Structure 1
Amino acid sequence: MSHSEQRNWLIAYDIADPRRLGRVHRYLKRHAIPVQYSVFVLHGNQIMLEGVLSGIAERIAPDADDVRAYHLPDRCEVTMLGTQSLPEGVMLGAPGLDRLLRELTASDDGIIVEGVVEAERTFQS
């Protein structure tokens, strides 16, 4: 895999301390799209992933917390039960999700934007 190749990454965490939990959650909301409270999707290359993981590493206690990043294949079958946090009609692995993630995570100046709010705006227009 090339370091510049754009991919989807599922980032999940289990943070033992409520204060660290909030910090990690707020940090990830600025860099990825939340799909559950402690699960996010990041669309980016290997360098972006390493940067986000480095930022998370500054906010966790490695001896008590667990953070994982999984590459999501382009076509990913997902089975869900209960409520969903993505906008209606958007599912991981759905056609067009790659494009949506690219649009939502990169602004004109290259800064990551908050995904869910922007996703809701995209689907309401």
Structure 2
Amino acid sequence: MPLNQAQTYLVCYDIADPKRLGRVHRLLREQGIPVQYSVFTAQLTAKELGRIIAGLVERIDERADDVRIYPLPSRPETTSLGLQYFPDGVLLIEKGKDLLRALR
């Protein structure tokens, strides 16, 4: 992937310590959109992904915490069941291949 081309990622985490959990959540909130507890989606270039990974490495305990980053296809097929949660003011809109963050 070219350094300036963004790709959508799903970032999931299980952090054992509440202090580290807060730090990880704040870091991911800067670049991504929370879609469930401990799950974010983010449009990232390779450089941005590298920064996120470096920030996560600084904030987690690799012996106790689990962070997973999954690249998503450009047009993922999804099924959603039950209550859908997005923070107030966040609306996801599909436009072409990009997920946009739109404020209401």
Q: Is the shorter-chain TM-score for this pair beyond 0.5, marking a shared fold?
A: yes
Q: Over residues 60-101 of structure 1, what are the superposed CA-to-partner deviations in whole Å (9 max), with x where a residue is unaligned?
A: 00111111111111110111222212356x4xxx6327151x
For 2:35, the equivalent position in structure 1 comes to 35
CA RMSD of aligned residues (A): 1.9
Q: Write the mapping of 1:20-99 to structure 2, written as runs, cut at 5 A.
A: 20-86=20-86, 87=90, 90=92, 95-96=94-95, 98=98
Aligned length: 100
Q: Over residues 5-30 of structure 1, what are the superposed CA-to-partner deviations in whole Å (9 max), with x where a residue is unaligned?
A: 21111111111111111111112111
For 2:18, the equivalent position in structure 1 comes to 18
Secondary structure at the residue paired with 2:49? helix
- Unmatched runs of 5 consecutive residues or more in structure 2: none
How has the CA–CA distance of structure 1 residues 38 and 99 changed in structure 2, closer, same or farther, with 3 Å as cutoff? closer
Report if aligned partners of 1:42, 1:49 keep a CA contact under 8 Å in 2.
no
Report if aligned partners of 1:15, 1:66 keep a CA contact under 8 Å in 2.
yes
TM value normalised by structure 1: 0.71
More helix by share: 1
TM superposition shift of 1:4: 2.1
TM value normalised by structure 2: 0.83
More strand by share: 2
Q: Over residues 22-70 of structure 1, what are the superposed CA-to-partner deviations in whole Å (9 max), with x where a residue is unaligned?
A: 1111121112111112111111211100101111111100111111111
- Unmatched runs of 5 consecutive residues or more in structure 1: 105-118
Secondary structure at the residue paired with 1:49? helix
| 2: CA distance, partners of 1:24 / 1:99 | 22
For 1:5, the equivalent position in structure 2 comes to 5
